[in-house]
Amino acid sequence: MQQPLTQQRLRAGVPASRLRQQRLVVRATATADPTRQDIRREALARGPAAGSELFNAKFVPFKDYRSSDGGLLDVYHDMKELSKFGPDYWKSLFDSRIGTTTWPYGSGVWSKKEWVLPELGDADIVSMFEGNSNLFWAERFGREALGMSDLWVKQCGNSHTGSFKDLGMTVLVSQVNRIRKLKPGAISAVGCASTGDTSAALSAYCAAAGIPSIVFLPADKISLAQLVQPIANGALVLSIDTDFDGCMRLIKEVTAETPIYLANSMNSLRLEGQKTAAIEILQQFDWQVPDWVIIPGGNLGNIYAFYKGFKMCKDLGLVDRIPRLVCAQAANANPLYSAFKKGWEHYEPISAKTTFASAIQIGDPVSIDRAILALNDANGIVEEATEEELMDAAARADRTGMFNCPHTGVALAALTKLREKGVIAPSDRTVVVSTAHGLKFTQSKVAYHSKEIAGMACSYANPPVAVKNDIGSVMDALRSKFPAI
């Protein structure tokens, strides 16, 4: 189905002796040109971080997967080696790397390198210093809309291409970069099917590394900003007359028969990068565990990635528990929600209906089994949001200074419902994961604020007031809103 992701490949696929030789070669060039010490060369000269020869990660079959041809793999870390270093070591190591420009640790993902892909050489990493995103205290929204005092929004969309997909893509493209160096010709290009954000991230990281990329997009189902990103980054963009699930089927066929590497989130390398957002949340709270983390879910890789990040911190003793997880789905694309309502007895893929939360318009999620495992272990729940609920929630929170994408709207709407039902208490420390930047989704926001959405009241719309070019009209307009002036 995809390139065989052998353990050997993940472990770099080369004997250590050859790696050392390579390092020496690059070092020799570095000294030949001492005026050009860039941060990548500095990393090479510095050599691997302490203990890194002990750590390793490998692909193992995902333990719960149902069908043998499903091909889901998981990255397994040698926890015994990692645990030898103790929680305080890891906390201070991770803390020491924040805010630096040291290659590659200036990245929020690679600052956790030992837990992500320990054996990858620093020089092979393709990074844009992603991660380290703001944890926003939603003070006014929490207090006024929900009566909450401890509500936070993890702004994963404040990122290079505007979504959390950067966190996973840096890992995947780095590994591809390595394989291409070791075996020229093994991978001629990297391809993905996408609801928009994956293709933006893939094409940007590939462009940075000089690797060709190919994206399969469902025609007319993604935002303009998402469409223009891979175009600008020079990817081959195929706009296909189908939906995401259709694109996914096609790219799987293509990658099965060609040396094109599949970059979709069934590829567990991406989840290794995404899981660092969970570790980051704990770090930002000074290793205090929040009560709830709410994540919008479509293909369901991210909910599992967050679970993995939290679980790893618990297993290595950095925290003593994991937060309860909520997966928030659009009611128009809710196969996980339906299965949850039936007590996980019965799961059935659906044909997803159109939703403004276009990145989660997925009826047949690849990582369904991963998500169920995560939710079961994290005492998790699934909530859903209608189109009106998600647009209202995003708009209402925008009025308190945010600028939310519709997916974040799904998570905020789920939170609102769980507060109303009393499941989440006013004092519970709660983190909503914002998955993309609102600026990628201006079309739907414009439609909402223009009250142009059929069948939707658009209760929080704030349309601009058209005013004639004279002072009287301007004053009238001002007084209609502020009678006192």
Ligand X SMILES: *Cc1c(COP(=O)(O)O)cnc(C)c1O
Residue 223 found at the interface with ligand X (CB under 6 A): no
Quickly list DSSP for 280-294.
HHHHHTTTPPPSEEE
User: How many chain residues are in contact with ligand X, going by CB under 6 A?
Assistant: 17
Which CB atom, from 56 or from 267, has the smaller least distance to ligand X? 267
- The residues, ordered by sequence, that sit 6+ positions from 98 with a Cβ below 8 Å of its Cβ are 111, 132, 283
Is 150 exposed, middle or buried, given 0-12, 13-18 or 19+ CB atoms closer than 10 A? middle
Which CB atom, from 339 or from 359, has the smaller least distance to ligand X? 359
Residue length, the chain? 485
Binding mask 165-204 for ligand X (x = CB under 6 A): x-------------------------------x-------
Which CB atom, from 127 or from 329, has the smaller least distance to ligand X? 329
Find the shortest distance in angstroms from Cβ 342 to ligand X.
Answer: 20
The reply to whether omega before 104 is within 30° of 0 (cis) is yes
Burial 292-301 (b: 16+ CB within 10 A, else e): bbbbbbbbbb
Does residue 475 sit in helix, strand or coil? Answer: helix
Q: Which two tokens stand for residue 471?
A: 């002072």
Residues between 348 and 367 that touch ligand X (CB under 6 A)? 359-360
Residue 435 found at the interface with ligand X (CB under 6 A): yes
How many other C-beta atoms lie within 10 A of the C-beta of residue 164?
31
Residue 333 found at the interface with ligand X (CB under 6 A): no
**Binding test (CB under 6 A) with ligand X, winner from 155, 159, 163, 283:** 163
Q: Of 452, 441, 458, whose CA–CA distance to 359 is shortest?
A: 441
Find the shortest distance in angstroms from Cβ 263 to ligand X.
Answer: 12
Find the shortest distance in angstroms from Cβ 129 to ligand X.
Answer: 20
Residue 409 found at the interface with ligand X (CB under 6 A): no
The answer to whether residues 355 and 386 touch, using CB atoms and an 8 Å cutoff, is no
Find the shortest distance in angstroms from Cβ 367 to ligand X.
Answer: 7
Find the shortest distance in angstroms from Cβ 32 to ligand X.
Answer: 44
Residue 155 found at the interface with ligand X (CB under 6 A): no
Residues between 240 and 299 that touch ligand X (CB under 6 A)? 265, 296-299
Which CB atom, from 331 or from 359, has the smaller least distance to ligand X? 359
* E strand segments, 213-285: 213-218, 236-240, 260-262
Which CB atom, from 127 or from 299, has the smaller least distance to ligand X? 299
Residue 300 found at the interface with ligand X (CB under 6 A): yes
Query: Residue 355: beta bridge partners?
Result: none
Burial 311-327 (b: 16+ CB within 10 A, else e): bbbeebebbeebbbbbb
Residue 154 found at the interface with ligand X (CB under 6 A): no
Which CB atom, from 120 or from 357, has the smaller least distance to ligand X? 357
Find the shortest distance in angstroms from Cβ 11 to ligand X.
Answer: 26
Residues engaged in binding ligand X (CB under 6 A): 163, 165, 197, 265, 296-302, 359-360, 405, 407, 435-436
